Structure formats: C-alpha cells, structure tokens
C-alpha cells in the first residue's frame, strides 16, 4: 500500500473541505443527491477492497448492502430499537457474520466460479426477501424513524435534518476511507498485497491465504453494510432491489470507472456516474445509452479509470521534494 503523496493528500483534503461547505450553498435536492453519492462511494470503496486489492471479483456484494437495510428495518419494527448506538453496531455485526459465512463458501473457489457463487448467494437472498411476507415482499419494509443519536436523553445530533444527515454520511465516508487505508497499510494488508501479486508464492512462504481473503471479505461486507444502513435510513424504505445483482453491477462499474486499487478512485467514480445519470435523465429518456457510451469511452481511453488521469497520477507520484520517484522494476510473477 503506497502512502499518499503530500500533493495528492492536499487535493483530497480540499475536496473534503468543499464537501463540508456544500450544504451551505446548495439546494435541498442537491444535498440529498450528494448524500446518495457518498453512500455509493462507501459501497464502491468496500467492493474495491475485494476487486482492486484482493483480486476477488464479486457480483453479490449487494447482499450485504441490502442485508443492512433489512436489519435496520427489522430492529426497529420487531425490537423497537431506534438508537444509532445500538442499531448501527448490531447491523454491522450481522453483515460481518453473514460475510464470514458466505466467504467461507465462496473463498474456496476462484475466478469465474467465485463470481458465480457470490452471485448465486446474493440472488437467493433477493428472492427470499421478495417472497417473504414478513419482510414486505416485493414492496419492501418502511423504516419508521431515522436512527436517534441520544446519549443519556441528550440528542447529540438530529439525523432527521437533511444537512445533519449529509454530514453524518460524509463522516462515515471519511472514516471508511481511513479505516481501509489503515487495514491495507498494516501487516495484514501486506499479506493481502502479496496474495494479489502471487498467491502460490505467498502460500509457499507459509501463509494460509484463504484465511486472509476471508478476513478481507468480512471487512468489505461490513463496510458495504455501513453503506446499506445509511442508504436505508436516508430513503426510509428498503426493498429487494437493494439485494439485486443490478446493485452489485453498478458498484462494479463505479469501481472500474473510478480506478481499481486506489480507494479514492471508486468514490470519485460514484460522484461522476451518479451526477451524469442525474443530468442525462433530465435531458433524454434514453439516458442509459448516454451513460453506456460514457463508460465505454472511459474504459477505452483510461483503462485504469479516472484515477489514472495524468494530473492525478503525477500528484500521486510526487515526493515531498517535488520530483517523481523512479518507476520500480517489476519482478517476475507481478501483474
């Protein structure tokens, strides 16, 4: 995991500062749209941990996104839990546990088989939610109230306020980014990087690689659950569409569009894709065709995504002294 260069870090901090000021300048609709972008940014970032760093392409990642929404709805309706400090840890714990169970089955496979196993499990959950009356069937479940952030009867912040909710989503996005960076910069992350480069060699060194991949799968599932929790709380409803392969496919497109293996790339991809969808939908009813052409153009012109734009790559390579470091010589077996 390469450390962020100072110029790139400054650029990211400037973007965060602009996001902090955004609600004071924008109308209500755009504040809610930006909140959706940040939620999808967290979701895409969680998938990037699998696709970009562990080389596990999943088409069932939406299972954890939707599971979190249903967990929040059930906790509120059946247990009467509305506290943020209770529902959020429980939801993330449920997503991490289910990710461990799903990963224990899927990690044993690789390549196209891994894709099909994750897709199959996600679709099983989709049809289970769609056909279960207790979960609202195809109509889904309403979330009666925004999570309450009270401590000893004192409300710290009100998530019913759209601006406050926006800042909550922004805080979750920043926290998720730094958590992912910390994981990847740790010794655990170095093993994950070694698995990405050459798993047989890593296994020959004595590492039980499937355990590391399973742990990363659980972490990614938990972060996807965080995105699903915030998304369901914003929409006030959760339905089977949260679990569908279309949701997983959109996240995968965002990761590829933004740039795999960068963390910030998928976040940028989420902002760009959702903004283009909003603009194109207001211009033509054939907006999906426009989006498709744009994605194809980016893939052809920028194979490594928006994060590979020359200015971004230059900022990422600059040292503190202002000169780019020499390119490392790839070793045998490296991608």
The predicted-structure confidence for 126-155, as pLDDT tens digits, reads as follows 999 999 999 999 999 999 889 998 888 788
Residues paired with 141 in a beta bridge: 238
Indicate the pLDDT class of residue 3, thresholds 50, 70 and 90.
low
pLDDT of 186 reads 92
**Which secondary structure element, helix H or strand E, spans residue 210, and what is its range?**
helix 209-235
Is there a contact between 77 and 144 (Cβ–Cβ < 8 Å)? yes
Q: Which residues fall within 8 angstroms of residue 265, CB to CB, at 6 or more apart? A: 48, 255, 258, 259, 305, 306, 307
Count Cβ atoms below 10 Å from residue 224 Cβ, excluding itself.
Answer: 32
Question: pLDDT, tens digit, for every residue of 186-210?
Answer: 999 999 999 999 899 999 999 999 9
Angle at which helix 112-131 crosses helix 62-79, to 10 degrees, equals 30
Q: Please give the Cα distance from 250 to 44 (Å, whole number).
A: 9
| Helix-strand-coil split of the chain, %, nearest 5 | 70, 5, 25
pLDDT of 323 reads 46
pLDDT of 311 reads 65
Structure tokens at 223: 């972060």
Residue 320 has pLDDT above 50, yes or no: no
117: left (phi over 0), alpha (psi -120 to 50) or beta: alpha
Average pLDDT estimate for 71-80? 93
Indicate the pLDDT class of residue 158, thresholds 50, 70 and 90.
confident
Nearest one of 111, 107, 106, 115 to 209, comparing CA atoms: 107
Question: pLDDT, tens digit, for every residue of 26-37?
Answer: 899 999 999 999
Residue 325 has pLDDT above 90, yes or no: no
Q: Please give the Cα distance from 40 to 299 (Å, whole number).
A: 20
Q: Which residues fall within 8 angstroms of residue 204, CB to CB, at 6 or more apart? A: none
**Which secondary structure element, helix H or strand E, spans residue 310, and what is its range?**
helix 310-317
Residues paired with 149 in a beta bridge: 157
Average pLDDT estimate for 84-101? 95
Q: Which residues fall within 8 angstroms of residue 158, CB to CB, at 6 or more apart? A: 149, 164
Average pLDDT estimate for 149-170? 89
> What three-state secondary structure class fits 237?
strand
Cα–Cα distance list, 153 to 97, 145, 148, 158 (Å):
31, 17, 10, 13
Residues paired with 157 in a beta bridge: 149
> What three-state secondary structure class fits 154?
strand
Q: Which residues fall within 8 angstroms of residue 225, CB to CB, at 6 or more apart? A: 64, 65, 67, 68, 71, 91, 92, 94, 95, 96
Q: Among the residues of 80-161, which ranges form H helices? A: 84-106, 112-131
Q: Please give the Cα distance from 294 to 147 (Å, whole number).
A: 37
pLDDT of 130 reads 94
Residue 157 has pLDDT above 50, yes or no: yes
């Amino acid at each position: 995991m390469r450390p962020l260069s100072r110029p790139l870090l400054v650029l990211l901090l400037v973007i965060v500062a602009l996001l902090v000021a955004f609600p004071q300048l924008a109308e209500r609709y755009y504040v809610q749209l930006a909140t959706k972008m940040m939620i999808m940014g967290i979701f895409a970032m969680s998938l990037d941990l699998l696709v970009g760093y562990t080389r596990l392409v999943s088409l069932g990642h939406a299972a954890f996104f939707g599971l979190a929404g249903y967990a929040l709805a059930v906790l509120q309706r059946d247990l009467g839990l509305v506290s943020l400090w209770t529902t959020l840890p429980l939801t993330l714990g449920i997503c991490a546990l289910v990710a461990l169970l799903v990963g224990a089955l899927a990690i044993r496979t690789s390549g196209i088989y891994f894709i099909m196993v994750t897709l199959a499990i996600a679709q099983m959950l989709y049809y289970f939610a769609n056909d279960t009356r207790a979960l609202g069937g195809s109509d889904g479940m309403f979330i009666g109230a925004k999570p309450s952030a009270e401590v000893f009867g004192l409300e710290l912040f009100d998530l019913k306020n759209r601006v406050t909710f926006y800042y909550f989503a922004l805080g979750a996005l920043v926290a998720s980014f730094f958590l992912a960076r910390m994981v990847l910069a740790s010794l655990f992350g170095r093993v994950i990087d070694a698995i990405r480069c050459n798993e047989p060699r890593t296994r020959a060194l004595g590492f039980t690689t499937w355990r590391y991949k399973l742990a990363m799968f659980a972490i990614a599932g938990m972060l996807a659950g965080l995105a699903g929790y915030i998304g369901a709380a914003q929409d006030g409803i959760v339905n089977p569409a949260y679990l569908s392969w279309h949701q997983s496919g959109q996240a995968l497109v965002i990761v590829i569009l933004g740039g795999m293996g960068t963390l910030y790339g998928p976040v940028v991809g989420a902002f760009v894709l959702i903004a283009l969808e909003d603009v194109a939908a207001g211009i033509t009813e054939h907006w999906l065709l426009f989006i498709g052409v744009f994605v194809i153009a980016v893939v052809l012109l920028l194979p490594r995504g928006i994060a590979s734009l020359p200015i971004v790559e230059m900022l990422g390579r600059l040292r503190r002294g202002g000169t780019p470091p020499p390119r490392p010589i790839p070793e045998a077996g490296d991608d």
